[in-house]
Amino acid sequence: MIKIENLQKHFGPKHILNGVNLEIKDGEVTTIIGGSGTGKSTLIKCIIRLLEPDGGKILFEGKDITHLNNEFELAKLRKNFGYLFQEGALFDSLTVGENVTFGLKYLTDTPKSEYAKIAKEKLALVGLKDIENLRPSELSGGMKKRVSLARVLATNPKVILYDEPTSGLDPIMSEIISQLILDLKKKLGVTSIVITHDMKSAFEISDTLAMLYEGKVQLAASKEEFKRTQNPYVKQFIEGSANGPIQMKISN
């Protein structure tokens, strides 16, 4: 279980996270929704400790990891996680195959002879085949995203953090990825934290939804509660209405 208490994070004078409270239960899919720039990516980067929080607490399996700073301890912590980057973050100097199997060398004892098989298998899971020898620069945006997901899946992490897994994918591919997230939960008991703007997918896969707004979680609840809620922020957001308490600032 991951427990986040009163989490604070600012960049310079900008307070991005300002008292986030959230509990992520094992084997569940927790979805984080919220407007662009509200700090969703920042939040999950704090969980995997790519960022160090400025205040509050993060507990992972009961252990306080908020200010873990020893690189060895951090590496050990990160072994539990897979992280799908919003923009993919594929290594452009390596081939697709090398990208997918990159973590095996550092996170597992898998013999090298099995790398090719694993690459093929994980790419198949995300609907790709015969692209192992291409470079990331030769792929489309959606393909990059899926290769990146295959790279996350390769090491069989316990907890997967997905930063917009379906953005940039066509509706059918989005559905396939949503099903994949559910499959991982059912078959392997993977805990998932998913950031998404895709409300259809969010309602389909989530056990718990959490909405981030103005540095806080406005509501964290099951999807039934989420649909019924009278919380005006949440209502406006899931209805996608321009009128309501959330005023998007449009510059110019």
Cβ neighbors of 228 (< 8 A, separation 6 or more) are none
Between the alpha carbon of residue 238 and those of residues 10, 136, 223, the distances in Å are 27, 34, 11
Site string for other proteins, 2-41 (x = CB under 8 A): ----------------------------------------
From 34-42, 63-71, 108-116, 117-125, span contacting ligand ATP (CB under 6 A): 34-42
81 binds other proteins (CB under 8 A): yes
DSSP string, 33-54: EE-TTSSHHHHHHHHTTSS--S
Among 1, 26, 37, 170, binds ligand ATP (CB under 6 A): 37
| Closest to 58 in 3D by CA, of 182, 209, 193, 238 | 193
Dihedral angle at the C-alpha atoms of 197, 203, 207, 209, nearest 10 degrees?
A: 40
Among 2, 4, 7, 16, binds ligand ATP (CB under 6 A): 16
Binding footprint of other proteins, residue count (CB under 8 A): 26
From 37-45, 132-140, 175-183, 239-247, span contacting ligand ATP (CB under 6 A): 37-45
Q: CA torsion sign, 146 to 76 to 220 to 53? A: negative
Cβ neighbors of 66 (< 8 A, separation 6 or more) are 52, 53, 56, 57, 58
Residue 177 in contact with residue 126, Cβ under 8 Å? yes
| Closest to 98 in 3D by CA, of 60, 151, 19 | 151
| Closest to 43 in 3D by CA, of 56, 28, 25, 61 | 56
91 binds other proteins (CB under 8 A): yes
Neighbours of 240 (CB within 10 A): 8
From 23-31, 32-40, 74-82, 143-151, span contacting ligand ATP (CB under 6 A): 32-40
Smaller CB separation from other proteins, 102 or 203: 102
Among 3, 21, 50, 142, binds other proteins (CB under 8 A): 50
Nearest distance from residue 157's CB to Mg ion, in Å?
20
Among 61, 73, 87, 114, binds other proteins (CB under 8 A): 87
**In whole angstroms, what is the distance from residue 112 CA to residue 189 CA?**
27
Smaller CB separation from other proteins, 160 or 210: 160
The option from ligand ATP, Mg ion, other proteins, none interacting with 93 (CB < 5 to 8 A, set by class) reads other proteins
From 36-44, 74-82, 106-114, 202-210, span contacting ligand ATP (CB under 6 A): 36-44
89 binds other proteins (CB under 8 A): yes
11 binds ligand ATP (CB under 6 A): yes
Q: CA torsion sign, 136 to 138 to 141 to 144? A: negative
- Contacts to ligand ATP by CB under 6 A: 11, 16, 34, 36-42, 86
